[in-house]
Amino acid sequence: MAVLAGAAGLVVTCGFVVPAAQAESDFATPNSLHVRKDLVIGHRGSSGYRPEHTLASYRLAARMGADYIEPDLVVTKDGVLVARHENEISETTDVAEHPEFADRKTTKTIDGQEITGWFTEDFTLAELKTLRAKERVPDIRQRNTIYDERYTIPTFAEVLKEAKRLSKELGRPIGVYPETKHPTYFRKIGLPIEPRLVAELKKAGLNHPNAKVIVQSFEVSNLKELDRQLRVPLVQLISSTGAPYDFVDSGDPRTYADLITPKGLREIASYADGIGPDKQLVIPWNPDGTLGEPTRLVRDAHRVGLKVHPYTFRAENSFLPADFRSSDNPAHYGRIHEELEVYFDAGVDGVFTDNPDIGVEVRDDEEN
Ligand code: G3P
Ligand code: CA
């Protein structure tokens, strides 16, 4: 858990000097005199508009007003952190079209699931850099496919550098909200994510309570370990089903459902500063697919001092509750503004969204 001390005068954020009030932690206590905006987190950048986890996607998110950009992190064969949602890369790159890598296609068990494809840990960074990113869901986001094969896979260091550059360009600190992907798996193959993450943050001068950085994970033990090494806020991600894979791996019978009981939330508050739940844990969908009533999760989390940043808000009908869809066409935009309004009204402290421009508009409308 980060030290949440206030700051006076000027501080350096992302290597960029900004007024202290602007640069303070976004995890100030509820008693803080400062009124803070809820956060808009550019999920995988601005993945509603650009292929995810590319510098172009992060750049657009920041220019649209996102407070944070969100890189998911995996590791290369030579130990470099790169931004991908998973270590199997055929969904989001053109790797399958590279005959020189055809023999790298293989089947592995990742977090208990058998997966066939190409894996970042089997490629050096130099090899990965020869690939190009592509849209993950071309049927739903056809317009994004015009950007296919324009962008490379960025390293985490490049994402931090871009956030620093964008902070200067935009005159406000652009935060970075990295997620460790498959931490138990990468530790077991000798390529642990956490020491690399700590080293990169320290190298960039970002391991201090006022750094605009939040670290997130679906696993628990790595966050507890990071709590001893990092001075930035930590967020425990909570899936709507299953259990943290480190629990599964170690035989701990607890599930995500156990983590969001009052007792589970108290334990999270001992090492983390917030939770990132599936949005349906905040407001579930009814059996007919319409949006239901808020659960007690926001209230219970706030009671133990945890911020709540649900995921993932997306404009297409495919991802919206039935009563917020505009038509039967899964690719058409539905009433995401109204969905976001309901969640801000339910008291969340930030949102992960593929459409940061809409997140900012709704957040700012709510606060005006
Ligand atoms: O990290 C918040 C959200 O991104 C979690 O879901 O699967 O998109 O990484 P995912
Ligand atoms: Ca993520």
Q: Whose CA is nearest to atom 6 of ligand 1?
A: 311
Ligand 2 centre from 350 Cα, in Å? 14
The long-range contacts involving 116-120, CB below 8 angstroms and separated by at least 24 positions, are 117/88, 117/89, 117/90, 117/91, 118/88, 118/89, 118/90, 119/87, 119/88, 119/89, 120/74, 120/75, 120/76, 120/77, 120/82, 120/84, 120/87, 120/89
Indicate whether residue 233 lines ligand 1 (CB < 6 A): no
Ligand 1 centroid – CA 208 distance (Å): 24
| pLDDT at residue 3 tops 90 | no
pLDDT band at residue 223 under the 50/70/90 scheme: very high
Closest by CA to 218, choosing from 349, 86, 62, is 86
User: 3.40.50.720, 3.90.550.10, 3.20.20.60, 3.20.20.190: which CATH number matches 10-367?
Assistant: 3.20.20.190
Torsion over CA: 29, 32, 35, 36 (sign):
negative
- Is residue 172 over pLDDT 80? yes
Q: Is the CB of 135 under 6 A from ligand 1?
A: no
* CA 41 to ligand 1: nearest atom: 2
Q: What is the pTM of this model?
A: 0.93
Q: How far is the CA of 311 from the centre of ligand 1 (A)?
A: 7
- Looking at the predicted structure, is the pLDDT value of residue 106 above 50? yes
Structure tokens at 20: 């202290």
Which of 39, 84, 111, 179 gets mutated to test ligand 1 (max ligand atoms within 8 A of its CB)?
179
> pLDDT band at residue 37, thresholds of 50, 70 and 90?
confident
Q: Is the CB of 84 under 6 A from ligand 1?
A: no
Distances in Å between the alpha carbon of 197 and those of 52, 153, 272?
A: 20, 17, 17
- Write the DSSP symbol of residue 173: P
How many whole angstroms separate alpha carbon 238 and alpha carbon 120?
25
Is the beta carbon of 311 within 6 A of some atom in ligand 1? yes
- Segment holding 190, helix H or strand E: none
Nearest residue by C-alpha to atom 3 in ligand 1: 311
